[in-house]
Amino acid sequence: MLARGPAPLDLAGAPPYRRAMTRPTPDSILIVDFGSQVTQLIARRVREAGVYCEIAPFTLAEEAFRRMAPGGIILSGSPAGVPEEGSPRAPQVLFDSGLPILGICYGQQVMTHQLGGTVEAGRDGEWDGEFGRAFLTVTRDCALFDGLWQVGDRHQVWMSHGDKVTRFAPGFEIVATSDGAPFAVIADEARRYYGTQFHPEVVHTPDGAKLLANFVHRVCGLAGDWTMAAYRETKVADIRAQVGSGRVICGLSGGVDSSVAAILIHEAVGDQLTCVFVDHGLLRMNEREQVERLFRDHYNIPLVVVDAEERFMAGLAGVTDPEAKRKFIGAEFVAVFEEEAVKLGGADFLAQGTLYPDVIESVSFTGGPSVTIKSHHNVGGLPERMNMKLVEPLRELFKDEVRALGRELGLPESMIRRHPFPGPGLAIRVPGEITREKLDILRKADAIYLEEIDQAGLYDQIWQAFAVLLPVKTVGVMGDYRTYDHVCALRAVTSTDGMTADFYPFEPAFLGRVATRIINQVRGINRVVYDYTSKPPGTIEWE
């Protein structure tokens, strides 16, 4: 018997909403983004240390600084080079503030340059950069190392830089070196300025999170009292202020992101919210029924279910390009919501479960020079004709933070623990042309795969697992007959934030069992393969 997604929803133990108390005013860190793809990981590490933070593009950093009145500043990395003409610079007001500053990679270099030091580009034949794992040696004590590193210690870090500091600014001294970066860590203890040439925010720097915690706690003196409860209270107040007496429609996908967003908004504005679930025919098995049970029967949130399979399938007919699929689905979602808003008598706001990774991978959320990886259907604003504004209460959160917020809101654990599911649904798990037949085949294979993972007790060890129906047919033998059927690829990854990921190391016996069951029970598949690609170089989804 096929599973109903990863696990049936258990609604019995979900507690009611807790009444919000007072709005918190936690200490904060301003992160100035110069366009690095991993800037959001800095925010993640700071939040893990219990300190609220915001990312602002270097072009808007001064405005954010004056609004936030932060307790410290972190300057991010960048794909740009400080010696390049027109490369990003930090606002002078940050250096005039007297606040502690930590510069990371490009952040170290731009701080050095703006304070009177020298940064040089890598030169072919002499020095071409330092990328990947490196080892640094601590040469002096500093507050950044308190309780963590001592003079003479040697530690693994992760480097990614083509330029390097060749002369530090007045007041600084070298506190750690590496083979490729004699200025691996520099410090001006009097002004509480620090610079690391390596990236402490990535998991490849084992002690990186502790270093960042040292900066926010020991150097900046921040308490570390920011929690999901605090975020909840702040966002409820923000939503009420934004929405006022207006009406909101929220697009539900069946995943944890849109579900948490809907329940948070409902707590803020009650029946001013109507949820819209679009059944576009690209859903997992029994997805529609689960959403109706949770929102209509359990939470009693107004819910409209739109049967839009025909229009989506017609629009996707013959479409094979992944970006074209995503853009059509995004545009069609907007059209459906627009129509439903009219039927409801008008709506002032459209709510979405947009997360940080969605935004970062689609376009530079920060306004900096970071590179677009792929489009997301729920990023990029709304057409002017809709005359609605977006409500995106999760836009600054990572997936695990959304799950923590879901627990704070009392969502059932079976919903919170669900693996991520993309907004375009199964459309991007059927590379090439999409047909109803292919979708039916994929739904069955995917359900078997997730059921086997759950029964093996592996579901919670995996960030995301799913099946992909490849646009490839192979010859097989079933009984005495020749077959010519589809190839099914299985994907499972481990991750903490979705920005980087590694394949899950299943035992061969498990994969063999899943492959046998799929081939035996799903007509149309005669071969199963497993995807061993990490992210990078691949993405988690296939399209």
Tell me the CA end-to-end span of the chain in Å, nearest whole number. Answer: 29
| Residue 485: partners with Cβ closer than 8 Å, 6 or more residues away | 473, 474, 476, 524, 525, 526, 527
| Interstrand relation of 273-279 and 248-252 (parallel, antiparallel or unpaired) | parallel
Task: Decide: 280 and 334 in contact? Cβ < 8 Å.
Answer: no
| CA gap 130, 225 in Å, rounded | 37
Backbone angles phi, psi at 75, to 5 degrees: -100, 125
Active site residue 105: yes
- H/E element, 63: helix 61-68
| CA gap 335, 341 in Å, rounded | 10
Task: Decide: 476 and 434 in contact? Cβ < 8 Å.
Answer: no
Both structure tokens of 169: 């600014």
| Residue 528: partners with Cβ closer than 8 Å, 6 or more residues away | 487, 488, 489, 490, 511, 514, 515, 518, 519
| CA gap 116, 53 in Å, rounded | 28
Q: Which is the catalytic residue, given 155, 199, 266, 486?
A: 199
| CA gap 64, 202 in Å, rounded | 25
Active site residue 201: yes
* Nearest Cα residue to 117 out of 162, 216, 25, 183: 183
Burial group, residue 239, by CB count within 10 angstroms (0-12, 13-18, 19+): buried
| CA gap 379, 354 in Å, rounded | 7
Q: Which is the catalytic residue, given 130, 201, 396, 408?
A: 201
* Nearest Cα residue to 263 out of 178, 351, 140: 351
Vertex 465: Cα angle to 460 and 469 (nearest 5): 165
Task: Decide: 284 and 449 in contact? Cβ < 8 Å.
Answer: no
* Nearest Cα residue to 379 out of 257, 262, 204: 257
Both structure tokens of 330: 């995004």
Active site residue 309: no
**Residues in a beta bridge with 268:** none
DSSP string, 254-305: SSHHHHHHHHHHHHHHGGGEEEEEEE-S-PPTTHHHHHHIIIIIIS---EEE
Task: Decide: 52 and 29 in contact? Cβ < 8 Å.
Answer: yes
Total Cβ atoms within 10 A of residue 237: 15
Q: Any idea which residues carry the catalytic annotation?
A: 105, 199, 201
